[in-house]
Each structure stands twice: as structure tokens, then as C-alpha cells.
């Protein structure tokens, strides 16, 4: 009953919003088979020190260590398909009810599901850049070759190491994307947080910025977040089950064109 009430309330908030945006984290892609970073027992950082394998400082000193670490994860990302949570957000955008998806994920699954306006705070795997001459190339051929032989990809122009265009620890986020995400946080009147523990800044600050500017928050995440007490709706459950339910209730509200009172 509580889940039914909460999904109905979330649907009503979406229907009443004038400018809704979503913020997604690693938990949005775990139903697609991509592990997150901090879940007890399965998080990637339980098995590796991020400053040793996933920082820009470590990459420049020992790039092969980064590639050894990311090899199985890259394979999972290439094989992953969008899950129902990805499709739910794409459907909300298609209905004109979601203005943007701000994501901490680098897997490209939002675009694969059909979302068009995706702000990738932590970069993506579509391109790679040479750390020596800064040549930018499509990453897919490099990744395919790397998955076959395990050797870190080198620049065909200068021989430097190629780095995927993902943001490592110690690197600044892409400023244009971050500025756009901040603008969305200030403009929106509703932010749907899905699959993020809100522990990594500056992404974790965006819902707070939205809340400070008067937006309502919907949080769907297994673990608690620091903003649960401020959110209008909090659902601690699987995003791949909850978001499609919310979208179905949104469709019901659209089909009857009636705004019912929010449940107490």
C-alpha cells in the first residue's frame, strides 16, 4: 500500500510540474548488470582503491593498472542493454514531461533507451583522447582491440596513451556540462533522483540546489540519502521496478486529463 501511494504521489508531482529533470546515478544501471561503486558486498570500491586505479594521477603513472581494472567493467558496459528505468525516463521525455536527464553514469544507456537531452557529468566512453598530443578519436575500435588483447591503447599519431573521455578522480568535470546541469537544477520545479546515493559532489549538490530554489524532490534509491527528509517522495526500492510504475500512473493521469488530490 505504501508503494502504491508513493508511486501515485510521484506521478501527480510529475503531472503538475512545469519543468522536471532527472538525476541518475550508478544504481540506475545496476539492473542492466553494471555494478555500482558503493553497495555493501558488491561495490567496485570494495575490491579496489579508486585512488590507485581510477585517479588521473595513477593513470599518468601507471595507465596499464587503470586498463587492467576497467577491462571487465568495459566488457559489461558494451554488453549492457537499457533496463526499464532507462526506458521510463525516455518515455517521460517523449511525453514532454521531462526536460533533461543529468547522469553520473558513463555507459550511454540513457541515449540507447531513447533519451535525447542527457547531461553526462562524468564523461562517456564514446571517445578517447591522447594524453600527449590530445588527439581525439572514436573509442569503440580501441575498446574492441583492448578487450581482445588487454594492451592499453596507444595514439597512432604520437604513441601516447589514449584515455577514455571519462572523468577520473582528481579531474575537473566538463565545465559546460556542469554549468548546464546547475542551470537545470535552478530552473526545475521537480527533480527526480534515481539510483544515486548522493555521496559524490558536485552531482550530489544538484538536488539541494533544486530544493533551495523551490523544487520538489522525488528520490528512488535503495539506500538512504542526505536529502530524504526534504524530499516529497522517497522510495527505497529497485528503480527498474518503481519508475515504470510511476510512468504508468502518469499515463493514466494524462489519459483522463484529471488532476486528483495528492494523497496525504
Active site residues: 122
- Rounded CA separation 48/57 (Å): 16
Q: How far is CA 110 from CA 24, 107, 131, 228, in A?
A: 10, 8, 28, 25
Cell of 224: 538512504
Residues comprising the chain, all counted: 264
How many helices, marked H, and strands, marked E, lie in the chain?
Answer: 10, 9
Contact at 8 Å (CB) between 78 and 143? yes
Supply the DSSP symbol for 162: E
Q: How far apart are CA 34 and CA 73, in angstroms?
A: 7
Compute CA distances 212 → 98, 173, 234, whole Å: 20, 23, 18
Tell me the three cell numbers of residue 174: 566538463
Question: At a CB cut-off of 8 Å and minimum separation 6, what does 95 contact?
Answer: 250, 251, 254
Helix ranges (H only) for the chain are 2-16, 50-53, 56-61, 63-79, 84-94, 109-113, 140-149, 175-187, 205-212, 239-256
Amino acid at each position: 500500500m505504501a508503494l502504491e501511494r508513493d508511486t501515485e504521489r510521484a506521478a501527480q508531482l510529475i503531472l503538475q510540474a512545469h519543468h522536471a529533470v532527472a538525476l541518475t546515478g550508478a544504481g540506475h544501471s545496476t539492473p542492466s548488470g553494471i555494478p555500482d561503486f558503493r553497495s555493501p558486498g558488491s561495490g567496485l570500491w570494495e575490491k579496489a582503491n579508486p585512488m590507485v586505479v581510477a585517479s588521473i594521477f595513477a593513470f599518468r603513472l601507471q595507465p596499464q593498472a587503470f586498463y587492467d581494472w576497467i577491462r571487465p567493467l568495459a566488457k559489461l558496459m558494451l554488453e549492457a542493454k537499457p533496463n526499464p528505468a532507462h526506458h521510463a525516463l525516455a518515455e517521460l521525455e517523449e511525453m514532454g514531461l521531462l526536460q533533461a536527464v543529468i547522469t553520473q553514469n558513463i555507459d550511454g544507456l540513457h541515449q540507447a533507451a531513447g533519451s535525447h537531452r542527457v547531461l553526462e557529468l562524468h564523461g562517456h566512453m564514446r571517445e578517447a583522447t591522447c594524453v600527449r598530443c590530445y588527439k581525439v578519436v572514436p573509442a569503440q575500435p580501441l575498446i574492441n582491440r583492448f578487450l581482445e588483447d588487454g594492451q592499453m591503447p596507444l595514439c597512432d599519431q604520437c604513441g601516447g596513451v589514449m584515455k577514455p573521455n571519462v572523468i577520473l578522480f582528481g579531474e575537473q568535470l566538463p565545465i559546460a556540462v556542469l554549468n548546464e546541469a546547475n542551470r537545470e537544477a535552478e530552473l526545475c520545479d521537480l527533480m527526480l533522483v534515481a539510483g544515486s546515493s548522493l555521496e559524490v559532489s558536485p552531482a550530489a549538490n544538484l538536488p539541494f540546489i533544486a530544493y533551495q530554489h523551490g523544487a520538489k524532490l522525488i528520490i528512488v534509491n535503495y539506500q538512504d540519502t542526505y536529502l530524504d527528509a526534504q524530499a516529497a517522495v522517497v522510495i527505497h526500492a529497485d528503480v527498474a521496478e518503481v519508475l515504470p510504475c510511476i510512468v504508468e500512473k502518469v499515463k493514466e493521469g494524462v489519459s483522463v486529463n484529471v488532476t486528483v488530490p495528492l494523497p496525504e
